[in-house]
């Protein structure tokens, strides 16, 4: 969506441009120690980042703890934000890393689905139309082992590619791809078993 803003040059601005500029202004105010700007930035991102944290931690209290730690780290290291990506993408990376660290601290060994070789060598598939809702998928993915669920969530819901996931989780790219494909198949099976498919 684009719209015109009256001005000297009659430039066209997108909604995303205006939002990004607003966020950048808030970030600059945060760098000056403005607490109201920090709160405004927190308000804009807290819900989405809590959802991300919950999908990875599978526990509300742990997710809230991770969220608070992530925002503390973000504000503490805000001087390192270079405006080369969106603040949301930068913050998301902090939240994901915090979740992984929290799981490791709890000595939770990420568990993966078996049958690793079943999908070896199969190229990435294009997204398919399944008629399923996001809520059906989220509910089914709760039944996946922790590692597979994390990969599935990072790829499908958070938009990370397999190279990024491999780096985050310290696994191979092929492992990430294989686990994602196996998790996707398992989610479909769970949904069919529970009678959610149309």
Topology match between the domains 2-105 and 116-193: no
Q: Where does 2-105 sit in CATH, by number?
A: 1.10.1740.10
Domain boundaries of the chain, sorted by first residue: 2-105, 116-193
Phi, psi of 33 (to 5 degrees): 90, 15
Kindly tell me if the per-residue pLDDT of 159 is higher than 50. Answer: yes
Mean pLDDT estimate for the chain: 78
Q: How far is CA 189 from the centre of its chain?
A: 24
Between the alpha carbon of residue 16 and those of residues 2, 37, 43, 60, 82, the distances in Å are 9, 19, 18, 31, 18
Q: Where does 116-193 sit in CATH, by number?
A: 1.10.10.10
Kindly report whether the global pTM for this prediction surpasses the value 0.75: no
2 - beta bridge partners?
14
- Of the two residues 22 and 121, the one the predictor is more confident about is 22
- Going by pLDDT thresholds of 50, 70 and 90, the confidence category of residue 121 is very low
Largest CA distance in the chain: 63
Q: What is the mean pLDDT of residues 79-95?
A: 90
What whole-number distance in Å separates Cα of residue 48 and Cα of residue 98? 15
Q: What is the mean pLDDT of residues 29-45?
A: 93
């Amino acid at each position: 969506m684009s719209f015109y803003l009256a001005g000297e040059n009659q430039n066209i601005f997108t909604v995303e441009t205006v939002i990004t500029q607003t966020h950048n202004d808030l970030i600059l105010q945060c760098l000056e120690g403005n607490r109201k700007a920090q709160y405004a930035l927190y308000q804009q991102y807290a819900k989405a980042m809590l959802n991300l944290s919950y999908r990875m931690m599978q526990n509300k209290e742990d997710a809230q703890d991770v969220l608070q730690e992530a925002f503390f780290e973000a504000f503490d290291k805000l001087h390192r934000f270079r405006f080369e990506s969106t603040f949301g993408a930068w913050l998301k990376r902090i939240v994901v890393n915090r979740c992984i660290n929290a799981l490791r601290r709890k000595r939770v060994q990420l568990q993966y689905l078996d049958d690793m070789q079943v999908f070896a060598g199969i190229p990435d598939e294009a997204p398919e139309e399944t008629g399923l809702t996001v809520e059906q998928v989220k509910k089914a993915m709760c039944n996946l082992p922790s590692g597979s669920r994390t990969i599935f969530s990072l790829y499908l819901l958070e938009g990370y590619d397999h190279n990024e996931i491999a780096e985050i989780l310290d696994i191979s790219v092929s492992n990430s791809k294989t686990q994602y494909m196996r998790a996707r198949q398992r989610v479909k099976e769970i949904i069919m078993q529970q009678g959610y498919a149309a």
